[in-house]
Amino acid sequence: MIGLLMAAVRESIQTTKSVFSGAFRQSQIESTLFDRLVLYGCVGLTLFFVLFPFYWMVVTSIIPSTELYRLPPAVIPTEFTFDHFREIMDAQVPFYIYFFNSFVVAVISSAMAVGISIFGAYSFARLEYPGRAFMVRGVLLSYMIAGILMVVPIFQIVVWLGLVDTLTSVVLTHFIFTIPLGLYLLGNYFRSIPKEIEEAGLIDGYSRVEVLLRITIPMSVPAIVAVFLYSFLLSWNEYLYASIFLNTQELYTLPIGIEFLQFEFDDVWGEIMAASMLTTIPVVIMFLYLEKYMMAGLSFGSMD
Amino acid sequence: MSNKNTEYGVELRNVTKRFGDLTAVDDIDLAVRDGEFLVLLGPSGCGKTTTLRMIAGLEVPTDGTIEMHGSDVTEKLPQKRDLSMVFQNYALYPHKTVEDNLRFPLGKMDITEEEATEKVEYATELLGIEDLLDKKPGQLSGGQRQRVALGRTIVREPNLFLMDEPLSNLDAKLRVNTRSELKDLQQQLGTTTVYVTHDQEEAMSIADRIVIMDDGQIQQIGTPQEVYKNPANEFVASFLGEPGMNFVQTAASSNGSVHAQITEPVDLEVSVEGDVPHSKVGVRPQDVWVGPGNSPGAPRDNGYVEISKMRLETIDPLGHSYELRLERGDHSIIALSDDVPGQVGDEVDVAFNRSSIHVFGENTEALSVKP
């Protein structure tokens, strides 16, 4: 796990380095010191705004609560403790239960989204049938509707299906909300693959489904990974529906679990930040790991 | 017997393909002989690629039937037609190595792993691409990709090769080399080949027979010599040859004799069946003689007939000869000449080679010429 993380970090540092050296190779000729200062200044400011909340999260999770309320606040902490982590793991419902629930929900719903999107998007991109244009637009339209508007109808459906207070209801809902973008992204990606490559497969003796599985999908790994990541993140962070459908504490997913911490602990910020840390880390690792697949396919060259 | 043996490998009967309002291929009949190298030639949008795609099974004809060795394949899927195809952009599988690209078509054949390896080796040896096997298409040059695409086409040893402008993405020199190799390869394998191109030089050099298409219709089918020497109509005459054929209006005539008119009618001393009031005379630039204005006249003894005096407008050196543009009034004629008959602006004598005169009738059809 640590090795993987290190490798991923090293890789992204390498990417960052090459991007920067690329930017400056160009500016070596034309830029003045002032130009470079402005550029570095902007980059630094952006990084500060983006990263400071994360930094504060990390700090809060590893300092004693007493330190947290000191005035003026200590930007660089001097005392460290892992008590917050220990406490959330020793709680009445240990934190890893939420973690497990979220993981199950996110993996199943995004796997479903990817699987269905592949076939749906392929039909949008390549097959001719009546009503296709209507469906393509309809899918996008459904993506435009705000989630909160769908709470009541979806809740009614969940009640009707008898799925209230089950993880299945959350899986289905997350799946419903991720599939339009999956269809849209993959549809566009499939359209960008030259038709001739698939036709070559047909002529080489393979059926359409075989061509899809053996040629189109392997060529679309970047888009498929992107759809999976997007679905996973959406599901991992989704709060609204999970909070409405789930009542039993043992079934809570991470976002509700974190919220629930404040009912269990008094001086709650350290615990919440520790929980947030644990929620963030797997997503970061996964992103660092899968990122290279998203880039890998972009330099294909079968065609002139 | 569904598999009766015919002379024809592929036969198209009354085939029409419409895309909405657009008629891409308009009621064509075409028979491809077994083992021949047939080239579909025409300007872009003439329906040649659509015709090829219908033979491949990638498009289904709106009307008509397609037969292969006597059995109807009109609606058969491409994978069941036992043919292979080279695409203009090669369409190699980018995520597979060259070897896997070549092996892919064999995956659906009923052969052992060793036989597949043998076939791949045979194809790579034939094309000289042994050293590319581990590379991916993205690492290859245009010429190498073209070879791999060709390899993928021949590896399965199908009944029919289809090629859609396979050389158009190569640079000029490589194109000329590759096309003679392609011809050799086809003769060596003896596989019926249908080849699409818009490049007449390529078509001429490679084809056993050429099918010239325009506007979704077949204009003429014949050997390269036939279509060049005896074009069936004005389109074929003007499409083939570089620079293109010159056309001159004829004057009213009688007894079928043909008079070209640039300034005043000139008897070309050739005749056609019947009287043709609205005909045109066609002469290729290499059959136009140009001489200095005060010369003794056109080389009559060599079968030339003088047409008119014209002004020499431009002289373009081509290396092996000169391209001359001659004008008089609204008329303009292009001639190819080994030497320069004068300077720009000079009045020169222009004569046509009588034996190479083509006459086209009212409906642009070629009329048979009697000297």
pLDDT at B294: 63
How far is the C-alpha of A10 from the C-alpha of A8, rounded, in Å?
5
Name the band, by pLDDT with cuts 50, 70 and 90, for residue A166.
Answer: very high
CB contact under 8 A, A203 and B145: no
How many C-beta neighbours within 10 Å does residue B251 have?
Answer: 16
Average pLDDT over residues B25-30: 95
B148 neighbors B101 (Cβ within 8 angstroms): yes
DSSP string covering A122-139, please?
HHHHH---TTHHHHHHHH
Q: Which residues pair with B196 in a beta bridge?
A: B40, B164
pLDDT tens readout for residues A265-287: 777 888 899 999 999 988 889 88
Residue A162, pLDDT > 90, answer yes
The DSSP bridge pattern shows strands B83-86 and B160-164 to be parallel
CB contact under 8 A, A304 and B145: yes
Interface check A100 vs B, CB under 8 A: no
B102: nearest CA partner in chain A: A204
Question: Domain limits at A187?
Answer: 2-10+93-301
> From residue B323, how far is each of B143, B238, B285, B344 by CA, in Å?
33, 17, 8, 12
How many C-beta neighbours within 10 Å does residue B215 have?
Answer: 15
Q: Is residue A72 part of a domain?
A: no
Name the band, by pLDDT with cuts 50, 70 and 90, for residue A35.
Answer: confident
The DSSP bridge pattern shows strands B304-317 and B322-328 to be antiparallel
Interface check A274 vs B, CB under 8 A: no
Average pLDDT over residues B82-98: 92
pLDDT at B295: 61
pLDDT at A251: 92
Mutation target to probe the A interface, by most A beta carbons within 10 A, among B95, B144, B155 is B95
The structural domain count of chain A equals: 1
From B87's Cα to the closest Cα of chain A, the distance in A is 7
How far is the C-alpha of B175 from the C-alpha of B162, rounded, in Å?
18
B168 neighbors B199 (Cβ within 8 angstroms): yes
Mutation target to probe the A interface, by most A beta carbons within 10 A, among B50, B77, B87, B132 is B87
**Which of the 8 DSSP states describes residue B365?**
B
Q: Is residue A46 part of a domain?
A: no
A296: nearest CA partner in chain B: B95
CB contact under 8 A, A303 and B91: yes
Higher pLDDT, B51 or A298: B51
Q: What's A181's domain CATH number?
A: 1.10.3720.10
Alpha carbons within 13 A on the beta-carbon side of A60: 19
pLDDT at B1: 35
pLDDT at A28: 54
Name the band, by pLDDT with cuts 50, 70 and 90, for residue A34.
Answer: confident
Q: With contacts defined as CB-CB under 8 Å, which chain B residues touch A201?
A: 93, 104
pLDDT at A298: 46
Q: Is residue A100 part of a domain?
A: yes
Q: Which amino acid is at B158?
A: P
- Reference B88, options B125, B142, B156, B157; nearest CA is B142
How many C-beta neighbours within 10 Å does residue A26 have?
Answer: 10
pLDDT at A16: 65
pLDDT at A304: 38
pLDDT at B315: 92
pLDDT at B98: 94
CB contact under 8 A, A204 and B79: yes
CB contact under 8 A, A200 and B109: no
CB contact under 8 A, A200 and B58: no
Q: Is residue A213 part of a domain?
A: yes
pLDDT at B203: 94
The DSSP bridge pattern shows strands B257-261 and B217-222 to be unpaired
List the structure tokens of B316.
């373009």
How many C-beta neighbours within 10 Å does residue A89 have?
Answer: 13
Q: Is residue A230 part of a domain?
A: yes
Query: From edge to edge, which strands make up the β-sheet containing B322-328?
Result: B288-292, B347-353, B304-317, B322-328, B331-337
Q: Is residue A160 part of a domain?
A: yes
B156: nearest CA partner in chain A: A204
Q: Is residue A64 part of a domain?
A: no
Nearest to A302 among B83, B91, B156 (CB): B91
CB contact under 8 A, B58 and A202: yes
Domains of chain B: 8-232 (3.40.50.300), 246-367 (2.40.50.140)
Lowest-confidence segment of A121-125, A203-207, B255-259 by average pLDDT: B255-259
CB contact under 8 A, B138 and A299: yes
* H-helix segments, A127-220: 132-144, 151-161, 167-192, 195-203, 208-211, 217-219
pLDDT at A8: 63
Average pLDDT over residues A258-264: 85
Interface check A204 vs B, CB under 8 A: yes
Q: Is residue A52 part of a domain?
A: no
- 3-state SS, residue B145: helix
pLDDT tens readout for residues B158-204: 999 999 999 988 888 888 888 888 999 999 999 999 999 999 999 99
Name the band, by pLDDT with cuts 50, 70 and 90, for residue B237.
Answer: very high
Interface check A300 vs B, CB under 8 A: yes
A209 neighbors A119 (Cβ within 8 angstroms): no
CB contact under 8 A, B105 and A205: yes
Interface of B with A (CB under 8 A): 56-58, 77-79, 83-85, 87-95, 104-105, 107-109, 136-139, 142, 145, 152, 156, 169
How far is the C-alpha of B89 from the C-alpha of B75, rounded, in Å?
26
